[in-house]
Amino acid sequence: MQENKVTCILCPRGCTIEKKEQGGTFEFAGFGCKRGLEWAKVEFTNPKRILTTTVHVKSGEIEFVPVRTNLPIPKEKIFEAISILKGIEVLAPVEIGSVIVKNILDTGADVIATRKVGKKDSSDD
Amino acid sequence: MEKYKVVVIGGGPAGLAAALESFKNLDDKKVLIIERDKFLGGILNQCIHPGFGLHYFKEELTGPEYAHRFIEQVMENQIEYLTETHVIEITPQKEIVAVNKKGLKRIKADSIVLAMGCRERTRGAIITLGTRPAGIFTAGQAQRFINIEGYRIGKKAVIVGSGDIGLIMARRLTLEGIEVKAVVEIMPYSTGLRRNIVQCLNDFGIPLLLSHKVTKIHGKYRVEGVTIAKVDSQLKEIPSTERFIECDTVLFSVGLIPENELSKKAGIVLDMRTGGPVVDNTFSTSQKGIFACGNVLHVHDLVDNVTLEAQTAGRYAAMYSQHPELFENNIHINIVAKEGIRYVVPQKLNKNFVQPFVLRFRVDNFYKDAIVTISNAGKILMKIKKSILTPGEMESIEISQKILSQLDFSNDIVVSLQNI
Ligand SMILES: Cc1cc2nc3c(=O)[nH]c(=O)nc-3n(C[C@H](O)[C@H](O)[C@H](O)COP(=O)(O)OP(=O)(O)OC[C@H]3O[C@@H](n4cnc5c(N)ncnc54)[C@H](O)[C@@H]3O)c2cc1C
Ligand code: SF4
B200 to chain A: nearest residue by CA? Answer: A49
Q: Which residues of A touch B202 (CB under 8 A)?
A: 7
Give the pLDDT confidence score for residue B392 in this predicted structure. Answer: 80
Which residue CA neighbors atom 3 of ligand 2 most closely? A32
Ligand nearest to the CA of A16: 2
- Which has the closest alpha carbon to B22: B87, B110, B94? B110
What pLDDT does A14 receive? 81
* Distance of alpha carbon B164 from alpha carbon B195, whole angstroms: 10
Say if residue B404 is exposed, middle or buried (CB neighbours under 10 Å; 0-12, 13-18, 19+).
Answer: middle
Residue B368 corresponds to which amino acid?
A: K
Tell me the average pLDDT across B168-187: 97
Give the pLDDT of residue B357: 96
Phi, psi at A110, each rounded to 5°: -95, 150
Determine the longest span between alpha carbons in chain A, in angstroms. 71
Residues B65-85, mean pLDDT to the nearest whole number: 98
Q: What percent of chain B has pLDDT over 70?
A: 100
Residue with more model confidence, B123 or A30: A30
Residues forming beta bridges with residue B368, ordered by sequence position: B388
Predicted confidence (pLDDT) at residue A125 exceeds the cutoff of 80: no
Residues 6+ apart with CB under 8 A from B164: B191, B192, B193, B196, B301, B392
Which residues form the pocket of ligand 2, taking CB atoms under 6 Å from any ligand atom?
A: A 8, 10-11, 13-15, 31-33, 35-36
pLDDT at A122: 66
Query: In B, what residues contact A, Cβ < 8 A?
Result: 45, 48-50, 60-62, 64-65, 68, 146-150, 175, 193-195, 197-199, 202-203, 205, 387-388, 390, 393
Q: Which of B126-135, B186-195, B241-250 has the lowest mean pLDDT?
A: B126-135
Paired strand residues for B33: B8, B81
pLDDT of residue B227: 96
Ligand 1: which of B116, B144, B165 to mutate, judged by most atoms within 8 Å of the beta carbon? Answer: B116
Please name the helix (run of DSSP H) or strand (run of DSSP E) that holds residue B319, with its range, or none. helix B303-322
Q: Can you give the pLDDT at residue A20?
A: 86
Quote the ipTM score: 0.89
On the question of pLDDT at B398 being above 50, the answer is yes
What DSSP letter does each residue of B328-358 carry, written as one string?
TT--EEEEEE-TTEEEEES-EEEGGG---EE
Is residue B366 pLDDT above 90, yes or no? Answer: no
Checking if the pLDDT of A24 tops 80, the result is no
Name the residue in chain A with its Cα closest to that of B369. A13
A98 touches chain B (CB under 8 A): no
- Check residues B79 and B368 and name the one with the higher pLDDT: B79
Nearest CA-CA distance, residue B394 and chain A, Å: 12
- The average pLDDT across A3-14 equals 81
Among B343, B259, B298, B322, which residue's Cα sits nearest to residue B9?
A: B259
> Phi, psi at residue A76, to the nearest 5°?
-75, -10
For residues B151-170, average pLDDT: 95
Residues carrying CATH 3.10.530.10, chain A: 52-113
Packing angle, helices B13-25 and B303-322, rounded to 10: 40
A120/B contact by beta carbon, under 8 A: no
Q: pLDDT tens digit string along B302-336?
A: 999 999 999 999 999 999 999 999 999 889 999 99
CB B19 within 8 A of CB B71: no
Strand, coil or helix: what is B101? coil
Q: Where is pLDDT greater, at B195 or B313?
A: B313
DSSP B49: S
Residues from chain A contacting residue B68 (CB–CB below 8 Å): 96, 115-116
DSSP per-residue codes, chain A? ---SEEE--SSTT--EEEEEEETTEEEEE--SSHHHHHHHHHHHH--EE--EEEEEEESBSSSEEEEEESS-EEGGGHHHHHHHHHT-EEESPB-TT-EEESSGGGSSPPEEE-S-BPBPPGGG-
pLDDT band at B194; cut points 50, 70, 90: confident
Pocket test for ligand 1, best of B118, B303, B308, B396 (most atoms within 8 A of CB): B303
DSSP B103-150: EEEEEEEEEEEE---EEE--GGGG--EE---B-EEEHHHHHHIIIII-
CB pairs under 8 A between A and B: 65
CATH classification of A52-113 is 2.60.120.10, yes or no?
no
Q: Given strand A25-29, what is the order of strands in its sheet? A: A5-7, A16-22, A25-29
How many whole angstroms separate alpha carbon B213 and alpha carbon B218? 14
Maximum C-alpha span of chain B: 69
Query: What is the least distance, in Å, from the CA of A25 to any CA of chain B?
Result: 26
* Confidence at B419, pLDDT banded by 50, 70, 90: confident
Query: What share of chain B has pLDDT > 90, as a percent?
Result: 90
Q: Give whole-number Cα distances, B275 to A94, B85, B206, B359, in Å.
A: 39, 25, 32, 17
Residue B72's contacts (CB-CB under 8 Å, 6 or more residues apart) are none
Cα B175 → chain centroid: 26
Q: How many CB atoms lie within 10 A of CB B140?
A: 20
- For residue A1, the model assigns a pLDDT of 42
Q: Which ligand approaches the C-alpha of residue B256 most closely?
A: 1
